[in-house]
């Protein structure tokens, strides 16, 4: 696998991975990414041309929002022709949302955009930060037959590269923090990095990058649970300006068969609200109509989200709502895989 003298841009948005311990106070502080070769001298052996851009101040991933995704996309857009790939260092809590969002915002992407982070700071003795950073850089630099091996948005964590919009954070304790329940890993890191060519996107054409910057956040998520109060559900649907609702249902897309709930969904659809059904399960997909409860939802006009993650469904809806005005266009696209987020 040829990596040559790749030129890569590292974006530090915030998160644990970019922290080192102050030698005098013992407190954690962000390290200077323009000195990244001093902090991680192992990178010198690659011989890559590494540049960096650090958000100032760093953003805790719990404070992540669409405005920051737009800034990330704009940085990639303005540097797209200068670099062979991009590594985005990010806090783990909302990384899957950010990776999903970027996947939809960067249409015709032909270069790697690899998100990574860590559970322990770079300066800790037992840190996972160095391995995640080093492997992400090597993956972003990988070329085969003159083309990037990974022409898509991915998340690398604990020896595995996942498609960004297929990933969810699954663990706060282990180094293996993420799961891609419905799609195989794009690559695995061992003695060598083994790429799963059959799982990777393989664009046949080379159209120009299109960066979408209009994201509409007028949506809500309603997680179902036994005993869900009717007034709560109705209050969510009556939110001013609401254009779309994601319902997190049980199992293969099942919901209470209570007449009030089905009526509530139908009334929302009739008012022009797009209602998408996503399963609470990390593995599996919504199969509308398999059981009577989901059949009633389908009859009410609720759309099945197949095996999309919640993170992908949220950010895809933001993208579609910000890009298209017609409800039927958005409804058609929500069920179609546009960036590999749904299994065909």
Q: How many CB atoms lie within 10 A of CB 301?
A: 16
CATH assignment of the domain containing 137:
3.40.50.1170
Residues 6 or more apart from 104 whose CB is under 8 A from it? 165, 212, 315, 316, 319, 338, 339
Residues 194 and 273 in one domain: no
Identify the band that residue 3 occupies on the pLDDT scale cut at 50, 70 and 90: low
Residues 313 and 195 in one domain: no
Residue 315 known to be catalytic = no
pLDDT of residue 123: 63
Residues 131 and 31 in one domain: yes
Instruction: Give the tens place of pLDDT for each residue, 114-161.
Output: 999 887 777 666 777 788 999 999 999 999 988 999 999 999 998 999
Residues 286 and 175 in one domain: no
Question: Per the domain annotation, does 20 fall within a domain?
Answer: yes
Task: Fill in the DSSP letter of residue 250.
Answer: B
Question: Rounded to whole angstroms, how far apart are CA atoms 162 and 98?
Answer: 14
Question: Per the domain annotation, does 1 fall within a domain?
Answer: no
Q: Could you say which of 211, 241, 264 is where a domain stops?
A: 211
Residue 56's SS3 state is coil
Residues 42 and 154 in one domain: yes
Best CA proximity match to 16, nearest among 137, 125, 128? 128
Residues 200 and 224 in one domain: no
Question: Rounded to whole angstroms, how far apart are CA atoms 275 and 83?
Answer: 40
Total domains in the fold of the chain: 2
Task: Give the range among 17-26, 140-149, 183-192 with minimum mean pLDDT.
Answer: 17-26
Q: Could you say which of 153, 187, 211 is where a domain stops?
A: 211
CA dihedral of residues 115, 64, 101, 34 (deg, nearest 10): -40
Residues 175 and 275 in one domain: no
Residue 191, pLDDT above cutoff 90: no
Catalytic hit among 3, 13, 16, 249: 16
Residue 289, pLDDT above cutoff 80: no
Q: Which residue has the higher pLDDT, 319 or 124?
A: 319
Residues 197 and 237 in one domain: no
Question: Per the domain annotation, does 111 fall within a domain?
Answer: yes
Q: Could you say which of 161, 184, 211 is where a domain stops?
A: 211
Encode burial over 33-47: b for 16+ CB neighbours within 10 A, e otherwise. beebeebbeebeebe
> Residue 234: which domain range?
219-334
């Amino acid at each position: 696998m040829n990596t040559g003298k790749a030129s890569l841009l590292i974006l530090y948005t915030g998160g644990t991975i970019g922290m080192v311990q102050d030698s005098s106070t013992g407190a954690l502080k962000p390290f200077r990414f323009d000195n990244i070769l001093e902090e991680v001298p192992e990178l010198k052996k690659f011989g890559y041309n590494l540049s960096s851009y650090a958000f100032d101040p760093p953003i805790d991933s719990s404070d992540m929002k669409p405005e920051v995704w737009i800034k990330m996309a704009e940085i990639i857009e303005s540097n797209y022709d200068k670099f062979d790939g991009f590594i985005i260092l990010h806090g783990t809590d909302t990384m899957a949302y950010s990776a999903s969002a970027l996947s939809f915002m960067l249409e015709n992407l032909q270069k790697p955009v690899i998100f990574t982070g860590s559970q322990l700071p770079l300066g800790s003795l037992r840190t996972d930060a160095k391995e995640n950073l080093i492997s992400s850089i090597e993956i972003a630099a990988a070329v085969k037959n003159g083309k990037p091996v990974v022409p898509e948005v991915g998340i690398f964590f604990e020896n595995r590269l996942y498609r960004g919009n297929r990933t969810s954070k699954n663990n706060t304790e282990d180094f293996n923090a993420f799961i891609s329940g419905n799609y195989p890993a794009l690559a695995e890191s061992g003695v060598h990095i083994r790429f799963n060519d059959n799982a990777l996107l393989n664009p046949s054409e080379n159209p120009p990058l299109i960066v979408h910057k209009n994201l509409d956040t007028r949506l809500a998520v309603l997680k179902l649970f036994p005993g869900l109060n009717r007034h709560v559900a109705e209050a969510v649907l009556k939110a001013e300006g609401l254009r779309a609702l994601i319902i997190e249902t049980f199992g293969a897309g099942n919901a209470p068969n209570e007449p009030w709930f089905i009526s509530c969904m139908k009334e929302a659809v009739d008012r022009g609200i797009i209602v998408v059904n996503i399963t609470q399960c990390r593995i599996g997909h919504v199969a509308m109509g398999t059981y009577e409860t989901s059949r009633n939802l389908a009859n009410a006009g609720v759309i099945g989200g197949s095996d999309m993650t919640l993170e992908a469904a949220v950010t895809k809806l933001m993208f579609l709502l910000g890009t298209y005005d017609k409800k039927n266009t958005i409804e058609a696209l929500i069920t179609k895989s546009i960036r590999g987020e749904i299994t065909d």
